[in-house]
């Protein structure tokens, strides 16, 4: 059909609206706190199984959907019927760890399969050795919980009760698990209704033509963005300090090489260490999603993350490595390594585009608490929160928000936690003097303190325990994360592990501090007025205004002493000038 740019834009935004309608259905009907805080995503594929976007999701979440659809189509081919609903959580079938449970439903219109609706969310349990299913201390996937290959939960509208009973018999807090799955099914069915309405309006030929155009446009736009990267190789190396068990002296090698050549980008992880015995490994789908999420940061926001977006990007991840382990390697605790690889990708891109690429920031620290309420019913809660963004080439980092790859995540309100679970949030706020100093500073640390009202099992997931997030372009590192047990009494710092397990009793408290993010640019070039503003906001002390930035502030009058500041900064700049 003849290209109609207005119609394509209308269809694009109608598809986005449909995924938002799907998301509203999931959010309104979901049972767990994870769904209510935004740890879920919705999307649409066309009848060929091609993700067409715009999903209610972050770029790395949309990449999960891209990875899982080939497995669905390979297994079922054309054996779909109206009313089918597929459930899958297999990390070796495109999902990234088993707590992430995905629902896929085909949409039929006038007897023809025309699309797929998709929804996933993180569940607070999936059975297995450890509550939650994402501990790094498992050694093979069979320990991590109930692994579901792509399988029909509904076939032609009839629910597979035997399958469902088997699943519910193997997960903790089964009513919540079922509630979240039913919420995702409701979201997919809502998407099906809206898609049929759109097809009645435009017809299948127009729908398919628009899908083709959106995919082609995303590919062309991505190629254009990659072409702006100066041709060459950009290498970044790091080491991961946890083998999954908190062993001393661990330094697992990580290496990524970006090869930009015209309109294509090759992201090569050759040189990364072999897969770990613990569950910190990244399955291939997660590695690919991390790459796509990083590359999306340099592509125009209106470009959809669909199958066209990924075509110019090649990901090379050696089989048997930390970023592409062999089955049955455990992968449930992959998040801390994901954050590190994401950081590496940004730092490699920053070598090529120093004026455009920021420090991605820290986040994804978690408290997982399970036990029984007073009436004997089981509970499981996962409280996730974030530190913020690192310094950017032209702006400060943003405090207390999810990293750039986490589009839809929020923070669970304390009122919700305290109403539904036997715990109290004693405190939640900023930690002064923790953000990486720079011309544009990184986000400061966030602390949260929980008080437990009943006995239970706790797991705390923590990032940046050994080496802090470094700065860029002369910026300083942020602070390290920390966990303290009963700060008012014992004040005992807990072992520095990515995943720490412990039993708690009523009255116990855990004080958790998320790491600060690195700064961007020379701290001595920061505007003294911005330093003063941070002091007034209690994100920086007067002492560290001087120590980190060379800014002299009169504590009594809350004013910058400009002559003294200029003198201090001149003194600190002299050694650097002499060295040059």
Count of C-beta atoms within a 10 Å radius of residue 2: 5
Distance, CA of 323 to chain centre: 16
- Element housing 140 (H / E): none
Do the Cβ atoms of 211 and 244 come closer than 8 Å? no
Any domain includes 319: no
Per-residue model confidence (pLDDT) at position 297: 84
Q: What is the pLDDT of residues 181-202, one digit of tens each?
A: 999 999 999 999 999 999 999 9
- pLDDT at position 435 is 96
Q: Report if residue 251 sits inside a domain.
A: no
Q: Are strands 264-268 and 313-316 parallel, antiparallel or unpaired?
A: parallel
Q: CA-CA distance, 156 to 119, in Å (whole number)?
A: 19
Q: Which helix (H) or strand (E) covers residue 470, if one does?
A: none
Domain end call among 193, 218, 243: 218
Domain shared by 450 and 567, yes or no: no
543 shares a domain with 475: no
pLDDT at position 577 is: 36
Q: Is the peptide bond before 54 cis (omega within 30 degrees of 0)?
A: yes
The boundaries of the domain holding residue 502 are 358-524
Residue 364: Cβ-neighbour burial (10 angstroms; 0-12, 13-18, 19+): buried
Task: Tell whether 444 is covered by a domain.
Answer: yes
Q: Is the pLDDT of residue 578 over 60?
A: no
pLDDT of residue 467: 83
Residue 389 belongs to a domain: yes
- The answer, yes or no, to whether residue 325 has pLDDT greater than 70, is yes
> What dihedral do alpha carbons 228, 234, 239, 242 form, nearest 10°?
30
Do 378 and 515 lie in one domain? The reply is: yes
How many structural domains are present in the chain?
3
477 and 561 assigned to the same domain = no
> Model confidence at 407, in pLDDT bands (50, 70, 90)?
low
Side-chain half-sphere exposure of 94, counting CA atoms within 13 A? 24
What integer pLDDT is reported at residue 329 of this predicted model? 98
Q: What is the pLDDT of residue 267?
A: 98
Average pLDDT of every residue of the chain: 93
Give the rounded percent of residues in the chain with a pLDDT score beyond 90. 85
Give mean pLDDT, residues 16-44: 92
Structural contact between residues 43 and 56, judged by C-beta atoms closer than 8 angstroms: yes
User: Are 398 and 427 in the same domain?
Assistant: yes
The residues with which 379 forms a beta bridge, in sequence order, are 371
Q: Is residue 223 part of a domain?
A: no
**Any domain includes 252:** no
Whether 95 is covered by a domain: the verdict is yes
Query: Which CA distances in Å does 552 have to 5, 434, 545?
Result: 57, 19, 7
438 in any annotated domain? yes
Q: pLDDT tier at 405 (50, 70, 90 boundaries)?
A: low
- With cut-offs at 50, 70 and 90, classify the pLDDT of residue 482: very high
- The answer, yes or no, to whether residue 576 has pLDDT greater than 70, is no
């Amino acid at each position: 059909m003849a290209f109609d740019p207005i119609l394509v834009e209308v269809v694009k935004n109608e598809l986005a609206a449909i995924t938002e309608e799907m998301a509203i259905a999931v959010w309104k009907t979901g049972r767990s706190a994870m769904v209510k805080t935004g740890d879920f995503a919705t999307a649409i594929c066309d009848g060929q199984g091609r993700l067409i976007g715009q999903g209610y999701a972050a770029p790395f979440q949309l990449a999960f959907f891209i990875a899982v659809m080939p497995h669905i189509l390979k297994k079922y081919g054309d054996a779909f019927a109206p009313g089918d609903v597929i459930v899958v959580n297999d990390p070796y079938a495109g999902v990234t760890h088993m707590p992430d449970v995905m629902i896929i439903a085909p949409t039929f219109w006038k007897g023809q399969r025309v699309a797929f609706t998709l929804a996933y969310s993180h569940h607070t349990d999936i059975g297995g050795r450890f509550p939650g299913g994402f501990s790094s201390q498992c050694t093979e996937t069979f320990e991590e919980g109930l692994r579901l290959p792509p399988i029909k939960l509904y076939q032609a509208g009839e629910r597979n009760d035997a399958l469902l009973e088997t699943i519910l018999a193997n997960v903790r807090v089964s009513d919540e698990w079922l509630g979240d799955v039913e919420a995702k099914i409701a979201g997919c069915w809502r998407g099906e209704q809206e898609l049929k309405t759109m097809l009645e309006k435009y017809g299948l030929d127009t729908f398919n033509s628009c899908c083709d155009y959106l995919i082609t446009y995303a590919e062309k736009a991505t190629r254009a963005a990659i072409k702006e990267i100066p041709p060459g190789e950009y290498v970044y190396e790091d080491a991961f300090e946890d083998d999954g068990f908190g062993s001393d002296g661990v330094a697992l090698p990580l290496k990524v090489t970006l090869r930009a050549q015209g309109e294509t980008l090759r992201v090569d992880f050759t040189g990364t260490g072999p897969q770990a015995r613990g569950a910190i490994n990244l399955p291939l789908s997660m590695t690919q999603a991390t790459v796509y999420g990083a590359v999306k940061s340099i592509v125009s926001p209106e470009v959809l993350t669909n199958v066209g977006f990924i075509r110019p990007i090649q990901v090379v991840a050696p089989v048997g490595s930390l970023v592409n382990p062999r089955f049955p390697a455990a992968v449930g605790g992959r998040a801390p390594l994901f954050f590190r690889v994401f950081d590496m990708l940004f730092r490699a891109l920053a070598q090529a585009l120093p004026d455009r690429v920021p420090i991605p920031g820290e986040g994804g620290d978690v408290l997982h608490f399970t036990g029984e309420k007073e009436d004997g019913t089981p509970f499981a809660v996962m409280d996730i929160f974030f530190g913020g963004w690192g310094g950017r080439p032209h702006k400060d980092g943003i405090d207390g928000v999810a990293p750039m790859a986490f589009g839809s995540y929020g923070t669970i309100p304390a009122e919700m936690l305290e109403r539904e679970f036997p715990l109290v949030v004693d405190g939640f706020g900023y930690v002064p003097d923790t953000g990486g100093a720079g011309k544009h500073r990184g986000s400061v640390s966030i602390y949260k303190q929980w008080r437990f009202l009943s006995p239970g099992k706790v797991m705390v997931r923590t990032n940046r325990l050994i080496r802090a997030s470094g700065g860029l372009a002369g910026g300083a590192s942020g602070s390290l994360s920390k966990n303290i047990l009963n700060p008012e009494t014992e004040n005992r710092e807990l072992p520095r592990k990515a995943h720490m397990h412990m039993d708690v009793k009523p009255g116990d408290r855990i004080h958790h501090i998320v790491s600060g993010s690195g700064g961007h640019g020379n701290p001595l070039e920061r505007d003294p007025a911005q330093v003063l503003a941070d002091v007034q906001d209690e994100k920086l002390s007067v002492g560290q205004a001087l120590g980190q930035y060379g800014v002299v502030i009169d504590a009594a009058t809350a004013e910058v002493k400009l002559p003294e500041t200029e003198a201090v900064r001149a003194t600190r700049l002299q050694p650097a000038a002499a060295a040059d």
